Structure 1
Amino acid sequence: MVDRTKRGPFRGHGPYALAALILGSPGGPGVADRLAAQAAPEVPAAPDTVLFMNATIIDGTGASRFVGDLLIEAGRIAGLGPPGSVTAPASVERRDLTGLVLAPGFIDIHNHSTSRLFDSPLAITQLAQGITTIVVGADGSSPWPISDYLERIDDLRPAVDVATLVGHGTVRAAVLGESFRRTATDAEIVDMTVRVERGMREGAFGLSSGLEYDPGFYSSTGELIALARAAARHGGFYMSHMRDEEEGLLEAVDEAIRIGREAELPVQISHIKAGNASVWGKAPDVLERIRRANEEGLDVTADQYPYAAWQSGLAIVVRSRMFSNPDSVAKGIAAAGGGSRLQIVGFDAEPGLNGLRLDEIARIKDMTEVEAYMWIMENGGSGLIGHTMNESDVDTFMASPWVMTASDGGVRSAHPRGAGTFPRVLGHFARDRGVLTLERAVARATSMPARRLGLTDRGVLRAGARADLTIFDPERVIDRSTFDYGTRQATGIESVWLGGVETWSAGEPTGARPGRALRRMR
């Protein structure tokens, strides 16, 4: 793999540094995680036998809630039905869940805890959201080799199950090296295809791309179709951070759908959004394209985090990549709506500026916004939270049957989505504002991602399914993380179970680490 993390203005903007930008600086919750990681994990706890009684059951299918009992035994759901209808041994542990919702464990199909799990295996901010399974390797950047990473996860035994995708950017960098700023040759595409095939054989669930980032930025549609066909041969899907979420949004959606059509595999559009004012109000047009594709017989869905701001690298503002050209920089800042919408994070050269907007930094440094941008890029670049989205578009995507929930964050994320995504959908959007029903909010976090991944053992509460459970208080569940304090722990998630082992209870991790690596087999 080519090391792109220390190359002038691109520092921190290649796919290999993307996770670091998204995760932000250490600190906040995670101290207990790091301490736990210093000792070898104990033998995972055996699954418990528990009868949950009088729970408000939301089964993940989107069906209406009902009050009932659920029995778990040997890591599976052994019984489910109305109160008093589930047979259980007299000695079994009983928990009365009156007033609480019992749902399947949440599946985060776009998570960036790839490396942070190894010093934070308890994944506290993830458990506090009700997450039981995470998928890493999105945005074109994945661990490599896939088999080595999954073996390390098995050895680690974190508090969540972990799956991965194989990254287009990762294999492209391995083949093209430093000469990635061009179209790949036929021979190079064949080489990349072989690597994707290898990743899929080793257990990856699909192919991801990050087409706004290097080196994926320079790839042709034909290259992506060829690699997606390789993933399709192993039953995988194609997940894309598209080429453009702003001025070229609709064309980018068309390209993603074309790749799915020609490669004959399902498509997942990452963190769907209308990214700046040039495309505000275009959410219905995006969803109409997805609807037509599904009507045509394709399988196209998307995921979304519930905030009106995105996070990436500062470089993404200047799409021409001409970071030292004042006109190009000015155009990019204007398209974002001005420096007041651009919040700097992860600026190592002068950490005291982290959290400030570009216009504030310009005033402090007695510069124009263009000069301040160029100065940051010349000094290693930074991460960026872009406050450029429209709440109405967020609501439109939230209400769509084609869109599921995903954080695009992870352990110790600088963006509040890393600690707050799932409770925010349940609390702010479902309970407080009624943008969607609570049943639909749960389905977005459970059966929808399970279906996309092809996981038939989780995502729905039914007899025989794996006992991955999230129990929450529908009146209290809410996110507490903010753009100033991104790692504040969510509240209202009462208990989390992974394979019949309780990992979260009353606002604290139990210390149990029953997680394992998931491998797609075909």
Structure 2
Amino acid sequence: LLPHGTIRYDVMGAAERAASPGERAEMLAHVERGLSEGAVGLSTGLEYAPGRYADAEEIAALCAPLGGLPYVTHMRGYGALAGTGMAEVTDIARRSGAAVHVSHYHGPAATLLPLVDEARLDGLDVTFDTYPYLRGSTILAMVALPSWIPAADTDRALELLESEPVDWDPALWPRITFSHVPGAEWAEGLSLPDAADKAGVEPGEFCRRVLIDTRLEAGCVTARPDEGPEGEESVRAILRHPGHTGGSDGIYVGGHPHPRGYGAFARMLGRHVRETGDWTLEQAAVHLASHPARRFGLAGRGLIRPGHAADIFVLDSETVSDRATYAAPRTLATGVDDVLVSGVPVLAGGELTGATPGRALRP
């Protein structure tokens, strides 16, 4: 995917404003070149800097040349702000004519799924992906840094963190567990209050020091307010929706990442097929293979039929299971012992073969 934030930064730096017509034209040239080189869509992160400074007009202009390829977005708002975020997504789709795909479209299902259904009834091509967990993962700056600190301008942000008092939100502290803290790896896997206690400082001061010392690169796993039966039912309802594709949203850096990177697909095949019956095995193949291949224009992939690439994994439907947990997130899944990529075995009898036949795919 072409990363809107990177393109915008290349053209506009850390500017906290809408793009001018000339800047939009320059960004559009980047997009057109990237598509000609094989990109499968355009992505935005509208809660992150610098994407948060872009308006719908700018994004729609950059989506215009996508054709059938998708505009993929971390919306401007989730949870309580999901309605606002989705309204902008559909506005961009109508302005540009692009298909849209919403990243990690987690609950509440009762709010989100009607918005997807409404957009699809209006003729918009809308899909989304989810991972089957109730916690999220991101960079610490995204959840903790006050909006008045310019996250896209790292040097200025660090200068302000060093010199200005920060009004932290202490309600966040128990919800944050460190996943990636370069230079302070001892804190990885600890909650922010526990790490601060171990360091002998207040949580706000520890957060400030981590942001400064890692130059805003620290990562975290974040608990959401909906951890419980209601949140679990929301995950299941979203998985069952016909607009759904599977995704891990995996972030692998750091010593203590979110377990979704190691367990998401096995969890969908084990828990959500065998245990809860949310999918049949045939439906799982659609959600996890053919839907993603169609969405991203990967011709000859995602189906088992003559003439298609033999991308195949063989699973034991009675034993396939995720084993990664929040306490031990890098634990490998079980139940898949043989994997072929383009017909070449890369996992055979549970052992890596050393073959590396994977290649970048053009649409």
1:220-268 per-residue CA deviation (whole Å, 9 max, x = no partner) reads 1111010011323xx4210001112233221101111221121101100
**2:98 pairs with 247, 265, 282, which one?**
265
**2:266 pairs with 396, 408, 423, which one?**
423
CA displacement at 1:294 relative to structure 2: 0.9
Structure 2 vs 1, CA of residues 500 and 411 (structure 1 numbering), >3 Å: closer, same or farther? farther
The DSSP-based 3-state class of the residue aligned with 2:168 is: helix
The DSSP-based 3-state class of the residue aligned with 1:503 is: strand
Tell me the residue number matched to 1:340. Answer: 174
CA contact (8 A) 1:412 1:418 kept: no
Aligned equivalents of 2:253, 2:306: Cα separation in 1 = 35
CA displacement at 1:349 relative to structure 2: 3.5
The DSSP-based 3-state class of the residue aligned with 2:138 is: strand
Aligned equivalents of 1:217, 1:329: Cα separation in 2 = 21
1:365-402 per-residue CA deviation (whole Å, 9 max, x = no partner) reads 34443333223223334101112153232222122221
CA contact (8 A) 2:289 2:303 kept: yes
1:470-502 per-residue CA deviation (whole Å, 9 max, x = no partner) reads 110001101122223322221101211122211
Higher mean displacement: 377-386 or 319-328? 319-328
The DSSP-based 3-state class of the residue aligned with 1:477 is: coil
TM-score between both structures, scaled by the size of structure 1: 0.62
CA displacement at 1:339 relative to structure 2: 2.0
CA contact (8 A) 1:404 1:448 kept: yes
CA displacement at 1:198 relative to structure 2: 0.5
Tell me the residue number matched to 2:47. Answer: 212
AA partner of residue 111 (structure 2): D
CA contact (8 A) 2:298 2:361 kept: no
CA displacement at 1:456 relative to structure 2: 3.3
**2:240 pairs with 396, 399, 402, which one?**
399
**1:351 pairs with 153, 172, 185, which one?**
185
Count of residues in Structure 1 that have an aligned counterpart in Structure 2: 341
Tell me the residue number matched to 2:110. Answer: 284
Tell me the residue number matched to 2:317. Answer: 474
Structure 2 vs 1, CA of residues 410 and 322 (structure 1 numbering), >3 Å: closer, same or farther? closer
Tell me the residue number matched to 1:241. Answer: 74
Aligned equivalents of 2:251, 2:338: Cα separation in 1 = 19
Aligned ranges for residues 39-50 of structure 1 at < 5 Å?
A: none
CA displacement at 1:436 relative to structure 2: 2.8
Structure 2 vs 1, CA of residues 439 and 343 (structure 1 numbering), >3 Å: closer, same or farther? same
CA contact (8 A) 2:180 2:253 kept: no
Identity of aligned residues (%): 36
Q: Which runs of 4+ in 1 moved over 6 A?
A: none
Aligned equivalents of 1:412, 1:181: Cα separation in 2 = 28
Q: When you count helix as a share of all residues, which structure comes out higher?
A: 2
TM-score between both structures, scaled by the size of structure 2: 0.88
The DSSP-based 3-state class of the residue aligned with 1:248 is: helix
Specify every segment of 5 or more residues in structure 2 that has no aligned partner in the other structure, as ranges.
Answer: 150-160
CA contact (8 A) 2:42 2:63 kept: yes
Matched, 1:360 2:199: no
Matched, 1:255 2:88: yes
Specify every segment of 5 or more residues in structure 1 that has no aligned partner in the other structure, as ranges.
Answer: 1-164, 275-281
Tell me the residue number matched to 2:30. Answer: 195
Tell me the residue number matched to 1:166. Answer: 2
AA partner of residue 79 (structure 2): E
CA RMSD of aligned residues (A): 2.0
Aligned equivalents of 1:427, 1:416: Cα separation in 2 = 15
1:308-328 per-residue CA deviation (whole Å, 9 max, x = no partner) reads 111111111146424657774
The DSSP-based 3-state class of the residue aligned with 1:197 is: helix
Aligned ranges for residues 131-142 of structure 1 at < 5 Å?
A: none
The DSSP-based 3-state class of the residue aligned with 1:404 is: strand
**2:59 pairs with 199, 208, 224, which one?**
224
CA contact (8 A) 1:318 1:328 kept: no
CA contact (8 A) 2:63 2:71 kept: yes
1:83-126 per-residue CA deviation (whole Å, 9 max, x = no partner) reads xxxxxxxxxxxxxxxxxxxxxxxxxxxxxxxxxxxxxxxxxxxx
Tell me the residue number matched to 2:141. Answer: 315
Aligned equivalents of 1:339, 1:406: Cα separation in 2 = 28
AA partner of residue 220 (structure 2): L
CA displacement at 1:200 relative to structure 2: 0.4
